[in-house]
Amino acid sequence: VSRHDQQAAPRIVRTVAELKAAGRELLETATAAGREASLGLVPTMGALHEGHARLIAQARDENAVVVVTDFVNRFQFDDPADFERYPRDLEADAAIAGGAGADLIFAPEESEVYPDGRPRVLLSAGTLGEKFEGASRPGHFDGMLTVVAKLLHYGMPDPATPAATMYRAYFGQKDAQQLAIVRRLVHDLGYPVQIRPVPIVRSAKGLALSSRNRFLTEEQQDAALVLSRSLFLMKERAEAHLPLRPVEAVAMIDSAPGVELDYFEVVDPGTLEPLAFNCAQTPFTGEALVLVAARVGGIRLIDNMPLGAI
């Protein structure tokens, strides 16, 4: 994503007050220049890569003002050691965010977001947060949801800015469960923001891009391709309105050497519950989400495929 290489380096702000003031100023400048009043928020934990650049570039295409948040949220890590060793490099992040078109980076200290330490009240992702990725990471989705709720508040355009300011927030489809939970937050609690999903970026061979892929040898990366192949098989069947027969996709993965399947599930995209119809036998119509997680060479990989109109 290099379309916005000429963009000036994004301004970095550290406090919510600075974020609000800078957001207001940028919106005023944009609307004075005749642009639609719109602000796109891209929440990240830093360590930006090509996948994030896509989110930022889409936000750039759709909004007058683009804000990237860069904050490593302690309360979504189930292992404190993972939190401590999470990469932090604001300068590198600013270069990538600026290259993809961000205007502003909000990189707060922990005390700005959590002035009292661990919040006494955390949002609950409910049953959506207990299954799939949540089953192996207890509390992860509650911590994620709590910080996303705060970040959505911080980024929300000030009511004093032009009346019809459009507010959009960008999340990658790669983390399908996170996206589903954030959509429920907005829907169930009535947040005035439009959630914009950004499609998964894949390698030429089809592997979903992930910072974890660098821990795989070339041979393991090739073995991991069975995951996207199994998902594309479901997509082909859905598009042809055939029964999905997920058991065949599971057999494909099970027969791949070095790939240890954790789950392969076809679910309702809104509830993450099993589909109301038997997708093994009924010709596919409507919407579904296929989720897969597996270990390849000891590295846990996730991938997914939305089916139908979603």
- Shortest reach from residue 51's CB to ligand PAF, in Å: 10
Does the annotation mark 52 as catalytic? yes
Task: Phi first, then psi: give them for residue 171, nearest 5 degrees.
Answer: -135, 140
Q: DSSP for 64-120, please give it.
A: SEEEEEE---GGG-SSHHHHHHS---HHHHHHHHHHHT-SEEE---HHHH-TTSS-S
Q: Which residue is nearest to ligand PAF (CB)?
A: 43
Direct distance between the N- and C-terminal alpha carbons of the chain, in angstroms, rounded to an integer: 25
| Cβ nearer to ligand PAF, comparing 43 with 157 | 43
| Cβ nearer to ligand PAF, comparing 176 with 256 | 176
What is the 3-state composition of the chain as percent helix, strand, coil, each rounded to the nearest 5? 40, 20, 40
Alpha carbon distance 16, 22 (integer Å): 10
- Shortest reach from residue 36's CB to ligand PAF, in Å: 25
- Shortest reach from residue 285's CB to ligand PAF, in Å: 32
CA distances to 26, 69, 127, 290 from 238, in Å: 44, 36, 27, 11
- Shortest reach from residue 147's CB to ligand PAF, in Å: 5
Provide the binding-site residues for ligand PAF, judged by CB under 6 A. 43-45, 73, 76, 144, 147-148, 175, 178
| Cβ nearer to ligand PAF, comparing 27 with 185 | 185
Per the residue annotation, which of 4, 52, 153, 241 is the catalytic one? 52
| Cβ nearer to ligand PAF, comparing 137 with 245 | 137
Active site residues: 52
